[in-house]
Every structure is written in structure tokens, then in C-alpha cells.
Amino acid sequence: ELKVEQNPLFLSMQEGKNYTIYCNYSTTSDRLYWYRQDPGKSLESLFVLLSNGAVKQEGRLMASLDTKARLSTLHITAAVHDLSATYFCAVPPAESGGSNYKLTFGKGTLLTVNP
Amino acid sequence: GAVVSQHPSWVICKSGTSVKIECRSLDFQATTMFWYRQFPKQSLMLMATSNEGSKATYEQGVEKDKFLINHASLTLSTLTVTSAHPEDSSFYICSASGGAGSGYTFGSGTRLTVV
């Protein structure tokens, strides 16, 4: 059974600081997804990481994937208040060649950026 | 980009009644639809996976007679919560695969409150 662990689950940081959210998963998978969820809203896609060593950046967020270590990181640079949200990583099973397979989600990281 | 329209965005119903939630893929054919529920401050829990024209596959512990899923076309899937009870109150989110790229597109969610 695929398990996905995120840490930390809660993160309170000051504006301007850097931090990293970690996502570990238990069985082989060749891709990983990061999502953002604002209170009362659905999920917004942030990154799709499709191969070992993949790195993607969008604004102050950068995500990477190490399939050998079964680890993905979401790095936040110089945080701003607008980044406050819950961040989820999600992993499909190993045999997925497309997106028709169910995702297993981490528990989410509630990020609060304080002025 | 791929868009999934989910309706209604919120609904309040009386205990014992049924509620139907619709998800439509607007600009692509959704070969597979996933239905999730999310309780406050928790992660997404997959309820069922449906493929167009076939019966949905339900996750363990999800009552298939209570949560009826229909995926009659490549652009429409519905979730009907039958004989709703207060414990069914939750945030329900659909997700579709089949759009461009390797991702999953999420609907905007439906907040169900059963009184």
C-alpha cells in the first residue's frame, strides 16, 4: 500500500524567510504532484514532477523530485503572506503511465506566513 | 487549460433527502473521474474512481449504495448522496484525468451540509 508522508504538518514562518516542505512516499513511483489549497477552496495545481531529478520553479516556490530516495521537496524562498495556504503532495502508483490512476495524498502542510 | 466545472458549489439539505453533485469537463474528454471527500483540516480521501461507461470502483469503507456515481459520458460524472445524514456533511471534490499533459484537473468542490 502506497503511503505518503508530509512534514511538517504545520509551518508558521515570517515573511522573507526560507523553508522546505518534505514529501516522502513508500513505494516506487515515477511522478509526483504538488497542490495548493486555500481555505474553503478546491485544489490548485502547482507542479507536476515527471522524472527523477526534475526541478520546477514558479515564483517563490521550487519543487524537486528524487525517485531513488522517494522524496520530493517544496522550497519556499523569501516567503510572503500570499503563500499562506495548505500544500499537498500526491503520488500515483508505480504502474501509472498517465493520469488515469488514483492519487494518494499526503496529509498536507498548513503554511502560515506572518508579516 | 483543462477545466472541470463542479455544481453546486454549496448545498444544504434535510436529513433523509438525496443530493446530486455534477462534474463536467468543459474542454476535454474525462476518461477517468475521481471523487473525493474532505473533512475540515484533513486531507482528501478518495471515495471512488469511475470510467466512462463502466461501474465505479469504490474505495474500502465507502458505501456504494449510498454514494451513487454515474459517468455516462466523457464529459459528465455525477455523485448522488442518497438518504443524506449529518455525518455526510463534508466538502466533495471531483477530479478528472484525460486533459492535456500528465495532470489531474480538480473541480471547485461542493460544500454539503445536511441538517
Q: What is the pLDDT of residues A5-20, one digit of tens each?
A: 999 999 999 999 999 9
The answer to whether residue A51 neighbours chain B at the CB level (below 8 Å) is: no
| 3-state SS record for A2-27 | CCEEEECCEEEEECCCCEEEEEEECC
For residue A97, pLDDT over 60 is answered with: no
Distance between CA atoms of residues A97 and B68, nearest Å: 28
Beta bridge partners of B78: B22, B70
Distance between CA atoms of residues B51 and B45, nearest Å: 18
* Secondary structure class of B44 (helix, strand, coil): coil
The answer to whether residue A3 neighbours chain B at the CB level (below 8 Å) is: no
Interface-testing mutation among B97, B105, B110, B113, with chain A (most A C-beta atoms within 10 A): B97
Chain B residues in contact with A35 by the CB 8 A cut-off are 106
Distance from CA of A31 to the nearest CA of B (A): 9
Number of neighbouring beta carbons within 10 Å of residue A2: 15
* Secondary structure class of A37 (helix, strand, coil): strand
Distance from CA of A49 to the nearest CA of B (A): 9
Distance from CA of A42 to the nearest CA of B (A): 5
Alpha-carbon separation of residue A12 from A21, A22, A105 (angstroms): 12, 15, 22
pLDDT tens-digit profile, chain B (115 residues): 789 999 999 999 999 999 999 999 998 888 899 999 999 999 999 999 998 888 899 999 999 999 999 988 889 999 999 999 999 999 999 999 876 565 789 999 999 999 9
Question: Given an 8 Å threshold on Cβ–Cβ distance, is A33 in contact with B103?
Answer: yes
